[in-house]
Structure 1
């Protein structure tokens, strides 16, 4: 099931750490400058060593930020975000449809991808009539550009399945990359 992530609560500490680091670096660099803001030859080597240490620390901080963002969002997947809207049996009672967001190359690709994701497949099966389980679920794809389109919805709630998509895509990519090195099993 899709989970709600407090992106601001997750990202603000990373920004705070970065700002504290750059302020500390700047204060150290300022200590090497004379009253005219110039670097003298006597401190140039110490200055360069400090800058190298700062660069290494900044690199490590960037790696940490990228790792955390990947944890939050999942690894990048190809394509762009698409909104796909489906109405289940609740539409007969006047209730709103369900909206999902995945990445794809175009709307058809996004729709194909959505249909492979476990969250969507579970939702789809839940739309089956309990009194007639042998019938297909009562689900309609809302194809109008207002309901299904490139980008994320402007308003309202939606099920963002891009993290689930990313996890599956990464697994499939690793499997595809390993396939050529896997020995064939003799039968």
Structure 2
């Protein structure tokens, strides 16, 4: 996170936001006196992995808006406005994955699913409210943008060139080829046993 944002608040605040989700989930586990099994220990790690991705998106958008407006409150408003729906849909999809697991008739899977649902529900709150609130309270210094890494621009141009140029079918053919090879190696044509 430090490498990406080059400011302590941008590196620490996403970790604090996701950490709050993990603490709330572990607190619920403790409150319900659920035994912490190996499977249950994965819940905080999964929340960390998913949460860091979402918190980096809101932090990056906040920084882009802060560069444009020089106003932390306006940057928070605009970054929340642009990221809340995609974040809610993405986290909602993850939440539904845990919801599907809750129908498995094995007790520790059910508990894993319930705590995952709770964690995902709190994750949407911490990534879209707590992190921007902390960024407004401790705004990072606006750096000169001419020192940004050029690899981002080169990567964006390269991918856009592939997707809009004469090689635009290459990624689709590659995905279909990998899919067919995987189906063949898994012997899906023989059915499930």
- Identify the TM-score tier after normalising by the shorter chain: under 0.3
More helix by share: 2
More strand by share: 1
Greater relative contact order, per chain length (Cα 8 Å cut-off, separation 6+): 2
Larger Rg: 1
